[in-house]
Structure 1
Amino acid sequence: MLKDEQDSRQMMMAFLVADMQVDIAQASEIVADLEEAKLIQINSNGNVIIKELEGDS
């Protein structure tokens, strides 16, 4: 894993810790789950791609 990719992953986890008040282990698991479900993708440049889901509200 490249530094930019790792930095982006850590920033996402820091946001989850601060905003959702989860611990770092839970934040890491959430990020991994989102990647596994292909809802987010972090490329080697550190860019975060978020899949937008649409539906009726």
Structure 2
Amino acid sequence: MTEARKLDCESAVADCRFIIQSEDEEEAIALAKRHMKDVHGQEYTDEELREEHLQVV
């Protein structure tokens, strides 16, 4: 079974219910970066997202 990557934005921003889940880590990171920048005005590096926000599910 392939591991998926998940970002539950509520864990980073209390009032946001946005969730990303993908079996492609690069896709999950790209979507997370776009969401965080466009919606929350915050920029993260790939490493910051991997270490702090993406979960393996």
Q: Into which bin does the TM-score normalised by the smaller protein fall?
A: 0.3 to 0.5
- Give the TM-score, by structure 1 length: 0.41
Counting strand residues as a fraction of each chain, which structure ranks higher? 2
Counting helix residues as a fraction of each chain, which structure ranks higher? 1
Q: Larger Rg: 1 or 2?
A: 1
- Give the TM-score, by structure 2 length: 0.41
